[in-house]
Amino acid sequence: MPKMVFVERDGTRREVEAKNGLSVLEIAHEHDIDLEGACEGSLACATCHVVVDPAWADKLSDATEDEEDMLDLAFGLQPTSRLGCQIVMKDELDGLVVSLPKGS
């Protein structure tokens, strides 16, 4: 099973199992990682904002226009910011590293 790493707000790195077909948001919730997701993945908020490690950013599909619009509302936006609900795990993303922003 693929794995991914969450870098929590305090810098703690947590490697977790990441089932294919689940979003980063769902994986975070499955492992009690503090990633809100107020709209439950319906692309209506930016509370699941994560910062993708630059080494992984080009391996993801491009953000949709709707995702870009929601990211404009995110606190602490970075060049590799994405919404966790829009990144879906697959074998090619085994080892993916995302950081939780300092605020939300």
Q: What is the pLDDT of residue 78?
A: 96
Token pair, residue 73, equals 């509302």
Domain that holds residue 30: 3-99
pTM of the model: 0.95
Cβ atoms of 25 and 84 closer than 8 Å: yes
Please state the rounded mean pLDDT for residues 8-14. 96
Residue partners of 26: CB distance under 8 A and separation at least 6: 41
Closest CA relative to residue 10, chosen from 34, 26, 37? 34
Q: Is residue 104 part of a domain?
A: no
Residue partners of 10: CB distance under 8 A and separation at least 6: none
CATH number at residue 67: 3.10.20.30
Q: How confident is the model at residue 102 (pLDDT cuts 50, 70, 90)?
A: confident
CB atoms within 10 A of CB 19: 12
Residues 34-87 have pLDDT tens digits of 999 999 999 999 999 999 999 999 999 999 999 999 999 998 999 999 999 999
Over 70: is that where the pLDDT of 104 sits? no
Residues 28-38 have pLDDT tens digits of 999 999 999 99
Q: How confident is the model at residue 93 (pLDDT cuts 50, 70, 90)?
A: very high
Q: Is residue 69 part of a domain?
A: yes
Closest CA relative to residue 28, chosen from 42, 41, 43? 41
Per the structure, how many domains does the chain have?
A: 1
Q: Is residue 61 part of a domain?
A: yes
